[in-house]
Structure 1
Amino acid sequence: MDERLFLDVVSGRKTSLSAKMMRAVLWLVAPAYRGVMAARNLLFDVGLKRAHRSDVPVISVGNITTGGTGKTPVVAWMANWLQSRGMKVCLVSRGYRELQAGGNDELRVLEQLCPGVPHVQNRDRVAAAKEAVERHHADVIVLDDGFQHRRLHRDVDVVLLDATNPWGYGHLLPRGLMREPRSSLRRASIVVLTRVDQVDEQALQKLRNEVRQATNAPVAEVAFRPTQLRSITGATADVKSFANEKLLAFCGIGNPEGFRRTLRDSGIHVSDDAFVTFADHHHYTQSELMSLVDRARAKGVSAMVTTQKDLVKLDPAWTCTLPIWAVIIGAEVVTGLEALDSVLQEIANPKNARDPIANDRAS
């Protein structure tokens, strides 16, 4: 089952008999997934599985659903916050399929959003944390997408919930998009609601109440604001400069509807038949780019617009007869900044720095 069909099925958008049968099968499988996750978490909770401590504090930024909750701009915001306090920050992530020139989309985007911050990618996050300290002399690690990776001890667990789809269609994988049940939020140090500007106040208040029932952790709220447009050549432009232009949009991300809303809220109107989606982490080919150009020209558009994650996967050497612009997104803390500052300040406080010798004794 490809990603698009899977989302249509689990969301309920697809209502055919075959879709209903697929949902029934996925519903039957979901308890097995729940059992595996519950058993794994229990082993860590009671100490039968060991969490390895790094020599420096670790801040995890993660979620309880699959798909795009906006981790990348939040990770960048936190890295820049810590760096502005004089800390040597290193990002650690699993990493996905690498691009031809080295690195992958998330690494390249974070290089642009927080320049000068080293980034170690390794499936073994414990080894990556060790490299961050020994090679990059980090005194704090920001672990990207680490909530389920309990092998590496973290000092702060920041859990993101996308306000537009916080509970992954209400079911655990594979029936829905939830990696863990709501009750897992009790492990969170702070919960960050993202895309709060894309839902109405009634829905947002309902989500606040649901989070409060699941955890006593403080809550912050974040909106993602377009800061500028950046072309494949590195040129920049104001987002408003395309407000009245006819554009074709394309993306291969976990939450394409979030991108569509961002365009709309920025005054960039793209018709449904000029909004092209690919699977999350899709790697483009030159022929696909040419097909997009042909489609755009057939619709008489003047340029194409995409996400920053998609732009970094396009080879600048490819011939393209239409301008391609990416919307650069920044995280804006709408409410709860004091709570978020307080959680991070505990890490930034020099008295909380770890003693590597003491850590060795403890392990």
Structure 2
Amino acid sequence: MAFIRPESYLRLIRGEIRGPLAATVRAGLSLASVGYRLGTNYRNARFDVGKDVHRAAAPVVSVGNLTLGGTGKTPMVEWLARWYRDRDVRVCLISRGYGRADSVNDEALVLEENLPDVPHLQDPDRVRLAGIAVEELEAELLILDDGFQHRRLARDLDIVLLDALEPFGLGRIFPRGLLREPVSSLKRADVIVVSRADLVPPERRNWIREEAKRYTGEAPILEARHAPRDLIDGEGHATPLEGLEGRAVAAFCGIGNPEGFRRTLESLGCRVVKLRVFPDHHSYAAEDVEELSRWADGSAADLILTTQKDLVKLRLSDLGAAPLRALRIGLDLLGDPRPLDDRLAALLPQNRPVPGA
């Protein structure tokens, strides 16, 4: 798939690109999906009977999803870490470290900036990391980032995010669609969180809930939004969001869901005059910065916006003649949070306060 640009691939699998060649490619992707699904089913069947599953010496909360691309796992991980840190629990984050550069990837850099008191370990062998976290860092609880498919490490709570903009991966397994595994895998979830729920109308939110309920049984389904917090520059200095209403901005990002970023900017009243999209986890080289500077100067915008994931790799406060700022995002739960609070509280060490007590 390396020869297809990400936006072209999405248009292809959505059927927006027509013609005999596109149809032939989609047929080939469908055949490849069969092999991918068989491999996934075999792997899940082994884990279902406990093959090669290892339990850590501390509770594990997993945050994951069903689909490729961004669903808001990083804001959810941050929210959970803050929830436990507010209750004096020693938390450690564990992740594989996709797209790593200079030993940590962009999500780790964002979490390090936003959660300086929470250690974050990255390595493909997350069972080994769990041992290090408990034995060397004395962690009392582990948060497993992007863990729904990583079943070698047993978890006490499985939280699965569904992106309201594309919750079920076009209904097809990768590479013909965006599903990592069948939607029926939601039966393993303990809690479902529909992210970016504020960006879709109520009838779509209801449809997502009803579709998820077909597989989840009694698992609670919550909704969340990605709430803009502030703007930060390349040195991490924050400024408030006031003044964005009606302002013409140019934006760029290298994330799994650029459409969600665009909609968030528009929800703040920005006029997005240009949007430049890079592949997820894009590593910016010097030539990228030069090209972006020219792009910014030609955009007729007096402010350039990006995501925190992108800015932590660039560490710039200007592009060309325009200031560059990142929109820092947090997660807000919509509605009653008690179904999630109760499940998180059940994993608190015995000497920690229960919410509301």
Q: Same fold (TM over 0.5)?
A: yes
1:31 matched to 2:41? The reply is no
Q: Percent identity?
A: 43
- CA deviations over 1:134-189 (Å, ceiling 9, x no partner): 22110000000001011011111001100110011110111100011111111111
Question: In the alignment, which residue of structure 1 is the partner of 2:201?
Answer: 200
- SS of 1:234's equivalent in the other structure is coil
Q: Is the 1:219–1:336 Cα contact (8 Å) retained in structure 2?
A: no
- Of 243-252 and 254-263, the range deviating more from structure 2: 243-252
Distance 1:114 1:326 in 2: 17
Q: Secondary structure at the match of 1:347?
A: coil
Structure with the bigger percentage of helix:
1
Q: Are 2:288 and 1:285 equivalent residues in the alignment?
A: no
Specify the code of the residue in structure 2 equivalent to 1:221. Answer: E
For 1:242, the equivalent position in structure 2 comes to 244
Report the alpha carbon displacement of residue 190 of structure 1 after superposing the two structures with TM: 0.6
Identify which of 15, 20, 26 aligns with 1:17: 20
SS at match of 1:264: helix
Q: How does 1:162-241 map to 2 (within 5 A)?
A: 162-216=163-217, 217-241=219-243
Whole-angstrom distance in 2 between the partners of 1:24 and 1:15? 13
Cα offset, 1:127, TM superposition = 0.7
Which one of the candidate residues 94, 100, 104 is aligned to 1:92? 94
Residue aligned with 2:347, SS: helix
Structure 1 residues 253-262 or 30-39, which shifts more? 30-39
The residue identity in structure 1 corresponding to 2:179 is M
Q: Distance in 1 between matches of 2:56 and 2:235?
A: 39
Structure 1 counterpart of 2:192, one-letter code: V
Q: 1:276 to 1:317 in 2, by over 3 A?
A: closer
1:287 Cα shift?
Answer: 1.9
Stretches of structure 2 that go unaligned for 5 or more consecutive residues are: 353-357
CA RMSD between the two structures: 1.7
- Give the CA deviation at 1:103: 2.2
Map 1:68-217 onto structure 2 (within 5 A).
Answer: 68-100=70-102, 102-216=103-217, 217=219
Moved more, 7-16 or 221-230: 7-16
In the comparison of the two structures, how many residue pairs are matched?
348
Shift of 1:99: 3.3
Shift of residue 27 of structure 1?
Answer: 1.2
- Whether contact under 8 Å (1:240, 1:266) holds in the other structure is no
Q: What is the rounded CA distance, in whole Å, between the counterparts of 1:285 and 1:50 in structure 2? A: 40
8 Å contact kept, 1:246–1:302? yes
Report deviation, 1:242. Answer: 2.5
Q: Bigger shift: 64-73 or 210-219?
A: 210-219
Moved more, 237-246 or 122-131: 237-246
Q: Deviations over 1:274-297 (max 9, x none)?
A: 100000000111221221221221
Whole-angstrom distance in 1 between the partners of 2:99 and 2:216: 35
- Specify the alignment match of 1:358 in structure 2: none
Q: Work out whether residues 40 and 181 of structure 2, in 8 Å CA contact, stay in contact via their aligned partners in 1.
A: yes
Q: Secondary structure, in 3 states, of the residue corresponding to 1:312?
A: helix
Q: Which runs of 5 or more structure 1 residues have no equivalent in the other structure?
A: 353-363
Distance 2:20 2:269 in 1: 39
Match of 2:355 in 1: none
What is the CA–CA distance in structure 1 between the aligned matches of 2:279 and 2:64, rounded to whole Å? 21
Is 1:45 matched up with 2:48? yes
- Identify the range of structure 1 (15-24 vs 327-336) with the bigger mean alpha-carbon deviation: 15-24
Shift of 1:315: 4.0
Match of 2:256 among 245, 248, 254: 254
Match of 1:59 in 2: 61
Check conservation: 2:304, 2:319, Cα contact below 8 A.
Answer: no
Which letter does structure 1 place at the counterpart of 2:11?
D
Deviates more, 1:86-95 or 1:286-295: 286-295
1:22 match: secondary structure: helix
Q: Partner of 1:348: helix, strand, or coil? A: coil
